[in-house]
Amino acid sequence: GENVEQHPSTLSVQEGDSAVIKCTYSDSASNYFPWYKQELGKGPQLIIDIRSNVGEKKDQRIAVTLNKTAKHFSLHITETQPEDSAVYFCAATLNNAGNMLTFGGGTRLMVKP
């Protein structure tokens, strides 16, 4: 089955700096890679996703890149703000696998004002 590894497990940045979280996956057949953000006391919420037919996707201050050859993908947050502080999870799935997601271990991002 799929295995997703995520690094770092914790990340502390100054407000305004950029943050990068990296994930690797094992199954070359995986073709959908979402990122979820979990704020304190809440369930995870989808913030951005990418499919294997594109290499990069942006949505305002967040972007995701995908390298299929190396089987890794990354989340980039620019101009970080205190409200970006949360736990972030990457995931991978084969689209026709019934929407079953395999999650990484999570990254706790702390943005210091």
Partner 1 sequence: DVKVTQSSRYLVKRTGEKVFLECVQDMDHENMFWYRQDPGLGLRLIYFSYDVKMKEKGDIPEGYSVSREKKERFSLILESASTNQTSMYLCASSSPTSGRLDEQFFGPGTRLTVL
DSSP class of residue 17 equals: S
Cβ distance to partner 1 smaller for residue 6 or 24: 6
Q: How far is the CB of 82 from partner 1 (least distance, A)?
A: 22
Task: For the segment 1-40, give every residue that binds partner 1 (CB under 8 A).
Answer: 1, 4, 6, 9, 32, 34, 36
The strand pair at 107-112 and 19-25 is best described as unpaired
If binding is defined by CB under 8 A, does position 43 make contact with partner 1? yes
In contact, 91 and 104? CB cutoff 8 Å: yes
Q: How far is the CB of 89 from partner 1 (least distance, A)?
A: 6
Binder among 49, 72, 76, 78 for partner 1 (CB under 8 A)? 49
Q: Where are the beta strands (DSSP E) in the chain?
A: 4-7, 10-14, 19-25, 32-38, 45-51, 56-59, 62-67, 72-77, 86-92, 102-103, 107-112
If binding is defined by CB under 8 A, does position 42 make contact with partner 1? yes
CA 4 – CA 33 distance, rounded (Å): 11
List residues near partner 1 by CB under 8 A: 1, 4, 6, 9, 32, 34, 36, 41-46, 49, 89, 93, 95, 98-106
